[in-house]
Amino acid sequence: MTETAGARARARRPGLGRGAVAVGLVLGLSGLMFTVNARSAGTDESRHPQDLRELTQKQAATVQRLSGEVDTLRAEVEALTAEQNTLAGRPALTPAPGDLVAGGSVPVNGPGLVISLDDAPVDSRRDDVRPDLLVVHQQDIQAVMNALWAGGAEAMGLMDQRVVSTTGVQCQGNVLRLHGRMYSPPFVITAVGDPEQLRAALDADEEVRTYVRQAGELNLGWELEERTEVELPAYSGATELGWARVPDDVEVLPGIPAAAPALRDEDAPAAAGRTTTEEGHL
């Protein structure tokens, strides 16, 4: 090696040393950041379920508060409508009691059945049985409700809420979502009607019979109680519909035809060419 080459090599060594130190510092800081992030992630995981529970509770409280406001506003609308009809000289519009019951707008009471469905106890679960067979599913609840309707139920409730035509039963895991509220099992269905006919309808339904048989084999919860008096609250949720329309030739109030549905901006260009049949499929 010449003197010039040796001098160049010695000149590079300090630079290499500083680079190694810089790389070491970067790696050290990166490791520290990964450690902090990992610990933070672990802490977040421990808090996450609690956050979800709190969020669910807040949402349920909000739904309950809004349901009360809906009841108040509905009563005000009914009072103002009656006052307007009186001032206009229109006859008072008195719905038939059966329509009020069917629509869920009034509380009801009478003889009926109370049915409870529940998951199998944790200590009774077996390794040779799939876990999904040991919980109540959405179709189990729907099967019981459909059988009760077929058996002549005049009104129905699920948990603490009234079931109406727009009620949707949706299970997320083992939690029931109903009208914006969340419920854990057991799931209680209450039906007003002739107890003997309701019981006969349950016995005749194949899906219900399958659940009852599996309840005995897998220790699922199934309780059926006949009562001389059950009570159901009025429906307190929203009644606005996004797609259903009242036909033009149907009077909402005596002498007042149904209002034309408001067109959305995206529907306006094609609206003029639609036929009555097409509107019925909205």
Does one domain contain both 68 and 120? Answer: no
| Spatial CB neighbours of 246, under 8 Å, sequence gap ≥ 6 | 252, 258
Domain hosting 49: range is: 19-93
- The mean per-residue pLDDT over the stretch 80-107 comes to 73
pLDDT confidence bin for 84, thresholds 50/70/90: confident
Closest CA to 237 of 165, 141, 184, 139: 165
Of the residues 93, 125, 152, which one is the last residue of a structural domain?
93
Please give the structure tokens belonging to residue 213.
């048989």
pLDDT tens digits, 9-28: 444 444 445 555 554 555 55
Other Cβ atoms closer than 10 A to 67: 18
Comparison of pLDDT for 88 and 191, the residue scoring more: 191
| Spatial CB neighbours of 1, under 8 Å, sequence gap ≥ 6 | 9
Which of the residue ranges 79-88, 124-133, 166-175 would you say has the lowest mean pLDDT? 79-88
Q: Which amino acid, residue 235?
A: Y
Report the distance separating Cα 137 and Cα 132, nearest Å: 9
Which of the residue ranges 138-142, 170-174, 184-188 would you say has the lowest mean pLDDT? 170-174
Residue 52 inside a domain? The answer is yes
Which of the residue ranges 46-50, 194-198, 224-228 would you say has the lowest mean pLDDT? 46-50
Residue 257 inside a domain? The answer is no
Report the distance separating Cα 136 and Cα 222, nearest Å: 10
Of the residues 202, 217, 232, which one is the last residue of a structural domain?
232
pLDDT confidence bin for 103, thresholds 50/70/90: confident
Does one domain contain both 190 and 225? Answer: yes
Does one domain contain both 64 and 27? Answer: yes
Does one domain contain both 84 and 104? Answer: no
Phi and psi torsions of 117, nearest 5°: -120, 135
Number of structural domains the chain divides into: 2
Does one domain contain both 157 and 51? Answer: no
pLDDT confidence bin for 173, thresholds 50/70/90: confident
Residue 276 inside a domain? The answer is no
Please give the structure tokens belonging to residue 84.
């307007």
- The mean per-residue pLDDT over the stretch 159-170 comes to 91
Comparison of pLDDT for 85 and 103, the residue scoring more: 103
pLDDT tens digits, 234-279: 988 777 777 888 787 776 655 555 555 555 454 544 434 443 333 3
3-state secondary structure of 281: coil
Asked if pLDDT for residue 121 goes beyond 80, the answer is yes
Contact 185, 136 (CB under 8 A): yes
Does one domain contain both 188 and 136? Answer: yes
Closest CA to 115 of 216, 195, 204: 195
Residue-wise over 229-267: b if at least 16 C-beta within 10 A, else e? ebebebbbbeeeeeeeeeeeeeeeeeeeeeeeeeeeeee
- The mean per-residue pLDDT over the stretch 114-142 comes to 91
The H or E element containing residue 279 is helix 276-279
Predicted pLDDT of residue 134: 92
Angle at Cα 88 formed by Cα 83 and Cα 91, nearest 5°?
Answer: 80
Residue 198 inside a domain? The answer is yes
Report the distance separating Cα 230 and Cα 141, nearest Å: 19
Predicted pLDDT of residue 16: 44
Residue 104 inside a domain? The answer is yes
Residue 252 inside a domain? The answer is no
CATH of the domain at 141: 3.30.70.1880
Does one domain contain both 24 and 145? Answer: no
